[in-house]
């Protein structure tokens, strides 16, 4: 619940932010919905259910057992960059093979590590990723202020 609530606060309602992805409904683009076989949300509750199903399908829900920022940092990264880059960042942070799929080895490594440190390392990778997105597509720099504010909120919460 905490992860989805955080995402819903960050993603807002229905908008076209001008990123070429069309209208997003609570952060859910038509492409994303199609990829995961989810219906277009027509309400806050619909979007919530879609995120819950997505977390289960990607196995990101397995990170949600603890009451900390790690699942929020990883899931929020996954929403913007895709699941594989976010999960790979998690795997690199815990020192396992970075294949982009959460499995028993990843979960065991997470269980044996300091989750706060892992969250910081994943967020650092996300910030680097955001810089690379802007470097590779300078038109995306218009989103930098919002992205930076979002990352700063996570850092402050981690502190």
pLDDT given at position 12: 76
Tell me the per-residue pLDDT of 65-103, one tens digit each, with 9 for 90 and over: 888 999 999 999 999 899 999 999 999 999 999 999 999
The residue ranking higher by pLDDT, 19 or 59, is 59
- The pTM (predicted TM-score) of the whole model is 0.92
* Best CA proximity match to 82, nearest among 135, 16, 36: 36
Over the stretch 21-75, which tens digit does the pLDDT of each residue have? 678 888 898 899 999 999 999 999 999 999 999 999 999 999 998 889 999 999 9
């Amino acid at each position: 619940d905490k992860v989805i609530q955080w995402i819903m606060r960050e993603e807002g309602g229905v908008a076209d932010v001008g990123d070429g992805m069309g209208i997003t409904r609570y952060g859910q683009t038509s492409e994303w919905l199609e990829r995961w076989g989810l219906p277009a949300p027509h309400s806050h509750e619909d979007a919530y259910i879609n995120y819950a199903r997505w977390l289960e399908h990607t196995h990101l829900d397995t990170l949600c057992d603890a009451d900390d920022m790690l699942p929020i940092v990883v899931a929020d990264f996954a929403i913007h960059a895709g699941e594989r880059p976010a999960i790979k960042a998690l795997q690199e942070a815990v020192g396992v093979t970075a294949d982009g799929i959460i499995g028993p080895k990843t979960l065991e490594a997470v269980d044996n590590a300091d989750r706060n440190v892992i969250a910081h390392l994943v967020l650092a990778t996300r910030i680097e990723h955001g810089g690379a997105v802007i470097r590779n597509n300078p038109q995306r720099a218009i989103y930098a202020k919002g992205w930076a504010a979002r990352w700063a909120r996570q850092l402050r919460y981690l502190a």
